[in-house]
Structure 1
């Protein structure tokens, strides 16, 4: 397997269940904390009827420095919508408090009681950060790396759109995928990927992995129908639609560029997200730019910037300014391209 294929495979497995971990659909174990160093104590019983997120982390964990701000943002967004965020570490109080002097943690943070919570949740999990999302009935809805699908699962649970049966089925299939990956047999891997696509046709990771396997096998022409299949299968997933749209509009393979289709998919994604998702609007702006719709590109990028914060806002404001500058340049020079 090439490094690219291994990276795609790792991403597909990173957001799903491992064969040894607490399984999707299982009752969540109790939270046993020795000391709470941030916010009030949280118990599984008190969280019943709410969505509970339990993340395992440590001060020495470099990837955790990226996930903590992400969880802070989710806490700010969902804190008043009956979603409770808990960070659990096995370290001592002095170490954690010193760490929090320079790393804000706005949610509940507790010190594990002799590793009891860690042992109950994390059996078989290779490393941290790792989070568990528990539904309102106290059952595990999802677990994996906090930067993968966690936000999507929380949003679906809050909106009452989470499909528990689908989640269980996908978790089981991802275990098979992990077993196939360990054999490094691409034919077996492709068999499992196709099984996932038959059983859960709206899983974007399966399409990404199938395209990566085909590329690895030198079957580049076969990757493009899979991309279009992804748009059909994931027709209600704005992020997947945007991924297809950007590939069709900005990909290096000019022969397979399809700007009208890209625009159709980008508009579809905007409609699904109620024209509020910053990334979706930014992608639509880029597709307009590729089509030469510079005024629309500038206006759409400006809308995205208005809805964004921090570095994203600055970046999108620069995009809008660039599109406006290009528009003016082309107005002044009829031969400009």
Structure 2
């Protein structure tokens, strides 16, 4: 039931542009790696970083992940890093989802929910975009079919602005 309410919170998609960035500070990756292509916090320096909080039971999350995979593949060699932070409690459900729907970018498991707490995540999916100085510039809650294009434009703008 809690999962259902959590997912309902995001029915109205919310985004905040750079003029009103989220008030979070990205200091570490405290979740445990789930993927072979893991990375460390040091790997993020000087890159545009996208952090996506998701769960396998969250329908908008499942809809968003293939789009994020495509953007990752397109921009991974241009200084853009995607990080998935999984918030599942049912590990069998999560593992089955990941097996059926592989994610190309590094995925971490937020077992203790510390990253969700640090990032003040109140709904899933929640996606943060950080500039090359790891300053938060964009926050998206929820997902709709326009979000991939808006996110890609944001990525392109950050890459151009910070050359």
Match of 1:129 in 2: 125
Match of 2:4 in 1: none
**TM (normalized to structure 2)?**
0.76
**Which structure is higher in strand share?**
2
Whole-Å separation in 2 of the counterparts to 1:27 and 1:139: 7
Secondary structure at the residue paired with 2:100? coil
Shift of 1:93: 4.6
8 Å Cα contact 1:39/1:107 also seen in 2: no
Gaps of 5+ in 2: 1-11
1:98 aligns with 2:96: yes
Match of 1:139 in 2: 135
**Which structure is higher in helix share?**
1
> Matches of residues 265-276 of structure 1 in structure 2 within 5 Å?
none
**TM (normalized to structure 1)?**
0.39
Shift of 1:96: 2.2
8 Å Cα contact 1:72/1:105 also seen in 2: yes
Length, aligned pairs only: 143
Per-residue Cα deviation, 1:69-112 (whole angstroms, up to 9, x for no partner):
11011011101111111111133554322111211211111101
Gaps of 5+ in 1: 1-9, 163-337
Match of 1:158 in 2: 159
Whole-Å separation in 1 of the counterparts to 2:122 and 2:152: 21
Q: Which has the larger radius of gyration?
A: 1
Whole-Å separation in 1 of the counterparts to 2:108 and 2:57: 16
Whole-Å separation in 1 of the counterparts to 2:40 and 2:130: 12
Match of 1:33 in 2: 31
Shift of 1:140: 0.6
Match of 2:77 in 1: 80
8 Å Cα contact 1:89/1:112 also seen in 2: yes
Give every structure 1 segment of 4 or more consecutive aligned residues whose post-TM-superposition deviation is greater than 3 Å: 92-95
Per-residue Cα deviation, 1:196-253 (whole angstroms, up to 9, x for no partner):
xxxxxxxxxxxxxxxxxxxxxxxxxxxxxxxxxxxxxxxxxxxxxxxxxxxxxxxxxx
Whole-Å separation in 2 of the counterparts to 1:56 and 1:16: 16
Shift of 1:56: 0.3
Match of 1:234 in 2: none
CA RMSD of aligned residues (A): 2.4
Match of 1:226 in 2: none
- Greater RCO between the two (CA within 8 Å, min separation 6)? 2
Shift of 1:64: 1.0
Match of 2:15 in 1: 15
Match of 2:65 in 1: 68
Whole-Å separation in 1 of the counterparts to 2:117 and 2:103: 23
